[in-house]
């Protein structure tokens, strides 16, 4: 393999593969939403699109050394001595407003729970959007007898007798 | 008591919606009465909020939900924040909701048969969402509230005929793309700043001088694209005309004046409060010039598309697309006059679009034809309705005592101040096109021939009957029309005061 490509993959794709996957998933979703003719396939694209964003947010909160974000006073010694390397929260370290004092919580031991909690809300929003869209597509199917967009548009033409 | 106003504005319609669902579909009159009362209370509270903010020398009211105190100078909980701009928009939202409920008294039972309670519940939830969007000070909460308004509006639009269901589906697809782009932008901001509170994000960005960082620029572009999709900025406007034209009439009259305008408010807020003028208007980025040209294209294309329509409601929806171009262009001019003009245009456009949509809905209802020849000789048959329509139309063209003139005046003076002559030309061109569109209608309404109602072209929201003569509608529909046209004049006459309030608020954040 070309060494330039190899270094590119090593530097940019391998350490950030979750972000690449999110971008690829998002593009798949967008492609399906824009180009597919069947309304149900558009909805599948929409679900993929929303899931990609959830993956992105979940990736933000992950740190290499961190465990689940539940503060326990006994179990926290396990993680001591582990190398501190925050990958995805790369820049949040120097600018994070969470100034936890040393004697209380070591922020590298805990995954950031906030993006995950945000995604709980986003999942709920996504589910209700999908549910509503399914209900609407049912209504469309009842009145047009099809879910293919071109057939529906044909039936809406002024000349047709539907 | 004053400090609880922001949350009360939200809670009253929220509980109203719950009560309406409990009342069920058997009691449509009580559903109507409940939502009328709850929206009435909500708009009175928001009026008091305007007064309270003014009395306190434009002091911002902050309300911490759940009473979470700040820690280390950063907000922990979710904050509601009301300054004079938010108070004015919230008042517009709740008051339009209240007046629109009066309008829907007779229409709801015929147009959404058997679903009256759901209609009133959804419209109240929509108002909760819109007020929340305006007041919240939390970037992620803003996303959730945008989705609440979108979900309720998808459902409200889909209550119409089969065309409405199809356009609602397209709106779902476009709306989800828009909201997801916004969410992505917030994600990039969160990576860089570690907070979601809008004021705190601004503070962290400023303290660490992150302005030129790639993530921030990407975040800004994503947020803007998302909001432009939601507000139907020209190349992204595809969902709007069908959705608003085919929705049940009382849904169209509520959403057309408010949805896009609230999104413009969010855009101004993101530009001025979240990122700041120095970042948005800095000469290093190419987007300033680009967006002005995009808004020029939006104004010209929206006006021409409106001119090409013969269907009155479709025509009005394309005028909304042009108006969104006005506001985006005004906000991007890069001076306070342009921003304040865009903001003043939010209020005046809400008033005049409301007025025109009510008038158009009444005419479609009575004449049974949504094409322009519905207006033949209408000044004689429905004089009161046509008075309301005329006020709205003159404001759209921009004749002096109405608010449309003053908002265009401020936008044009902002454009001249910024030296963006293409924007000024587009505004004047759009005014002329509007004049052509509406005087074409006036001519028919005064001198047109009486034509037969085409029986194969009776819209579903019409009760026209060729046997009987066209007559005026009941008071429950005329009264809202007169309130709306009254507000078109009132906002116009009070333009000096309103504009000074807006300018003061915008200057306070810029210094």
Q: Is residue B506 packed enough to be buried (19+ CB in 10 Å), middle (13-18) or exposed (0-12)? A: buried
Alpha-carbon radius of gyration of chain B = 22
Return the pLDDT at A9: 81
Q: Please report the beta strands in B234-376, taking only residues with DSSP state E, as ranges in sequence order.
A: none
Average pLDDT over residues B433-452: 80
Residue B201 belongs to what H/E stretch?
helix B198-208
Give B26→chain A minimum CA distance, Å: 23
Predicted local confidence at residue B428, as pLDDT: 92
From chain B, pick out residues whose CB is under 8 angstroms from the CB of A94: 208
User: Can you count the helices (H) and strands (E) in chain B?
Assistant: 20, 2
| B79 DSSP assignment | E
Angle, vertex CA B93, rays to CA B492 and CA B333, nearest 5: 60
| Sequence ranges of the domains in chain B | 1-137, 138-510
Sign of the CA dihedral running B466, B472, B477, B480: positive
Q: How far apart are the first and last CA of chain B?
A: 31
Residues of chain B with C-beta less than 8 angstroms from the C-beta of A99: 72
pLDDT at A28: 93
Report the pLDDT averaged over residues B425-444.
90
Contact list, B180 vs chain A (CB under 8 Å): 49-50, 53
Q: In the predicted model, what is the mean pLDDT of chain B? A: 86
Q: Is B72 left (phi over 0), alpha (psi -120 to 50) or beta?
A: left
Helix (H) or strand (E) holding B62: strand B61-64
What is d(CA B342, CA B327) in angstroms, rounded to the nearest whole number?
Answer: 5
> Which residue, among B108, B94, B95, B93, has the nearest Cα to B32 in the 3D structure?
B108
Average pLDDT of span B146-172: 90
**Among A49, A90, A133, whose Cβ lies nearest the Cβ of B172?**
A133
Least confident of A24-33, A101-110, B83-92, B357-366: A101-110
- The residue of chain A nearest to residue B76, with distances taken between CA atoms, is A98
- Nearest-CA distance B70 → chain A (Å): 12
C-alpha distances out from residue B164 to A136, A144, B21, B452, B456, Å:
10, 12, 23, 27, 19
Q: Which residues of B touch A49 (CB under 8 A)?
A: 176-177, 180
How far, in Å, CA of B312 to CA of B385, rounded? 15
Q: For A133, which of B73, B169, B191 is closest by C-beta distance? A: B169
| pLDDT at res. B511 | 58
Gap between the terminal Cα atoms of chain A: 60
The reply to whether residue A95 touches residue B208, judged by beta carbons under 8 angstroms, is yes
Report yes or no: B431 and B397 within 8 Å, Cβ to Cβ. yes
What residues does B63 pair with on adjacent strands?
Answer: B80
In chain A, count H helices and then E strands: 6, 0
**CB-CB under 8 Å, B147 with A49:** no
> What is the spatial distance between Cα B360 and Cα B367, in angstroms, rounded to a whole number?
10
Q: How many residues does chain A have?
A: 162
Mean pLDDT of B171-177: 92
Q: Does residue B448 register a pLDDT over 80? A: no
Q: Of A158-162, B189-193, B430-434, B493-497, which range is least confident?
A: A158-162
> Is A121 in contact with B180 (Cβ distance < 8 A)?
no
B266 neighbors B142 (Cβ within 8 angstroms) = yes
What pLDDT band is residue A104 in, cutting at 50, 70 and 90? Answer: low
Query: Is the pLDDT score of B166 beyond 70?
Result: yes
β-partners of residue B64 are: B79
Over residues A105-133, the mean pLDDT reads 86
Lowest mean pLDDT among A41-50, B163-172, B206-215, B222-231: B206-215
Judge: B215–A91 Cβ closer than 8 Å, yes or no: yes
CA-based nearest residue in chain B for residue A22: B184
Nearest CA in chain A to B145: A125
Q: CA B82 → CA B51, B133, B180, B354, distances in Å?
A: 12, 11, 26, 24
Q: ipTM for the complex?
A: 0.85
Q: Is the pLDDT of residue B503 over 70?
A: yes
A38-47, B82-91, B342-351, B372-381: least confident range: B372-381
Which among A50, A116, A129, A131 is the top mutation candidate for probing chain B, defined by the most B β-carbons within 10 Å of its own β-carbon?
Answer: A129
Instruction: Nearest by CB to B195, from A97, A125, A136: name it.
Output: A97
**pLDDT tens digits for range B45-78:** 999 988 888 887 778 888 888 878 877 777 788 8
Six-digit token string for B429? 């061109």
pLDDT value for A75: 46
Which chain A residues touch B163 with a CB distance below 8 Å? 156
CB B34 within 8 A of CB B122: no
Mean pLDDT of B74-88: 86
Chain B partners within 8 Å of A139 (Cβ): 158, 162, 165
Indicate the CATH number for domain A3-66+107-156: 1.10.287.3510
pLDDT of residue B14: 92
Q: Is B80 helix (H, G, I), strand (E, B) or coil?
A: strand
E strands within B125-258? none
Q: Which positions in chain A touch B177 (Cβ < 8 Å)?
A: 30, 33, 49
CA B352-B353-B356 angle, to 5 degrees, is 85
**Strand partners of residue B82:** B61
**Residue A57 distance to chain B (closest CA, Å):** 7
**b/e string for B92-108 if b means 16 or more Cβ within 10 A?**
bbbbbbbbbbbbbbbbb
* Rounded percentage of chain A residues whose pLDDT exceeds 70: 75
Checking if the pLDDT of B354 tops 50, the result is yes
Burial class (CB in 10 A: 0-12, 13-18, 19+), A5: exposed
CA distance A18 to B328: 36
What integer pLDDT is reported at residue A79 of this predicted model?
A: 44
- Nearest CA-CA distance, residue A92 and chain B, Å: 6
Query: Percentage of chain B surpassing pLDDT 70?
Result: 95
Which residues have CB under 8 Å from B385's CB, separation 6+? B359, B362, B363, B366, B378, B472, B473, B478, B481
Which residues on chain B place their C-beta less than 8 Å from a C-beta of chain A?
A: 72-74, 140, 143-144, 147, 150-151, 154-155, 158, 162-163, 165-166, 168-169, 172-173, 176-177, 180, 183-184, 187, 190-196, 200, 204, 208, 210, 215
Smallest CA–CA separation between A1 and chain B, in Å? 30
Both tokens assigned to A129 = 């959007």
Map B148-185 to HEC letters. HHHHHHHHHHHCCCHHHHHHHHHHHHHHHHHHHHHHHH
Which residue of chain B is at minimal alpha-carbon distance from A148? Answer: B166
Which H or E run contains B257? helix B249-269
**What are the φ/ψ torsions at residue B81 (nearest 5 degrees)?**
-140, 125
Nearest CA in chain A to B140: A118
Sorting pLDDT into bands at 50, 70 and 90, what band is A53? very high
CA distances from B450 to A68, B48, B445, B456 (A): 75, 49, 10, 18
Structure token digits, residue A101: 């004092």
Span B252-310, pLDDT tens digits: 889 888 999 999 999 999 988 888 888 888 777 778 888 899 999 999 999 999 988 88
């Amino acid at each position: 393999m070309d060494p330039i490509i190899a270094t590119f993959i090593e530097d940019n794709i391998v350490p950030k593969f979750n972000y690449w996957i999110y971008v690829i998933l998002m593009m798949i979703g967008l492609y399906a939403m824009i180009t597919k003719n069947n309304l149900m396939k558009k909805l599948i694209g929409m679900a993929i699109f929303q899931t990609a964003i959830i993956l992105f947010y979940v990736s933000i909160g992950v740190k290499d050394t961190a465990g689940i974000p539940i503060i326990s006073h006994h179990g926290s010694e396990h993680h001591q001595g582990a190398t501190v390397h925050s990958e995805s929260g790369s820049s949040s370290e120097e600018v994070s407003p969470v100034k936890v004092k040393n004697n209380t919580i070591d922020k590298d031991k805990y995954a950031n729970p906030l993006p995950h909690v945000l995604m709980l809300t986003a999942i709920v929003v996504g589910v209700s959007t999908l549910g509503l869209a399914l209900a609407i597509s049912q209504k469309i199917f009842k009145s047009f007898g099809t879910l293919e967009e071109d057939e529906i548009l044909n039936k809406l033409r002024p000349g047709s007798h539907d | 008591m004053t400090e609880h106003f922001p949350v009360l504005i939200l809670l009253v319609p929220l509980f109203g919606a719950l009560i309406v669902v409990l009342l069920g579909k058997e009691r449509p009159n009580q559903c109507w009465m409940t939502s009328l009362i709850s929206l009435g209370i909500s708009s009175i509270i928001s009026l008091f909020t305007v007064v309270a903010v003014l009395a306190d020398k434009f002091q911002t009211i902050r309300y911490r939900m759940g009473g979470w105190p700040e820690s280390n100078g950063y907000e922990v909980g979710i904050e509601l924040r009301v300054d004079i701009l938010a108070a004015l928009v919230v008042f517009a939202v709740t008051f339009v909701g209240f007046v629109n409920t009066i309008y829907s008294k007779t229409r709801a039972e015929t147009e959404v048969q058997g679903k009256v309670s759901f209609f009133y519940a959804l419209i109240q939830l929509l108002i909760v969402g819109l007020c929340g969007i305006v007041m919240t000070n939390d970037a992620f909460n803003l996303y959730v509230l945008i989705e609440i308004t979108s979900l309720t509006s998808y459902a409200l639009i889909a209550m119409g005929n089969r065309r409405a269901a199809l356009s609602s589906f397209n709106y779902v697809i476009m709306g989800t793309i828009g909201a997801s782009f916004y969410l992505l932008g917030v994600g990039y901001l969160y990576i860089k700043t570690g907070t979601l509170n809008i004021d705190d994000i601004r503070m962290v960005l400023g303290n660490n001088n992150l302005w030129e960082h790639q993530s921030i620029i990407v975040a800004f572009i994503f947020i803007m694209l998302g909001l432009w999709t939601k507000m139907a900025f020209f190349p992204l406007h595809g969902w709007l005309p069908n959705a608003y034209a085919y929705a049940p009439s009382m849904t169209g009259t509520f959403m057309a004046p408010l949805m896009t305008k609230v999104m413009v408010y969010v855009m101004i807020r993101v530009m001025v409060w979240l990122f700041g003028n120095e970042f948005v208007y800095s000469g290093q980025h190419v987007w300033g010039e680009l967006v002005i040209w995009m808004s020029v294209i939006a104004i010209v294309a929206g006006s021409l598309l409106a001119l090409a329509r013969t269907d009155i409601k479709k025509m009005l929806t394309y005028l909304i697309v042009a108006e969104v171009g006005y506001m985006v262009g005004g906000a991007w001019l890069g001076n306070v006059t342009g921003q304040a003009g865009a903001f003043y245009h939010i209020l005046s456009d809400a008033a005049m679009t409301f007025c025109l949509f009510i008038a158009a809905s009444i005419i479609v209802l009575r004449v049974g034809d949504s094409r322009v020849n519905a207006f033949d000789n209408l000044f004689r048959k429905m004089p009161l309705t046509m008075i309301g329509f005329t006020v709205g139309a003159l404001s759209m063209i921009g004749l002096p005592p109405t608010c449309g003139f003053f908002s265009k005046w401020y936008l044009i003076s902002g454009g001249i101040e910024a030296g963006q002559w293409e924007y000024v030309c587009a505004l004047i061109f759009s005014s002329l096109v509007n004049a052509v569109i509406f005087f074409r209608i006036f001519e028919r309404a005064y001198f047109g021939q009486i034509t037969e109602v085409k029986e194969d072209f009776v819209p579903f929201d019409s009760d026209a009957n060729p046997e009987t003569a066209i007559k005026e509608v009941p008071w429950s529909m005329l009264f809202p029309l007169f309130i709306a046209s009254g507000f078109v004049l009132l906002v116009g006459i009070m333009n000096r005061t309103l504009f000074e309030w807006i300018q003061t608020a915008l200057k306070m954040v810029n210094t």
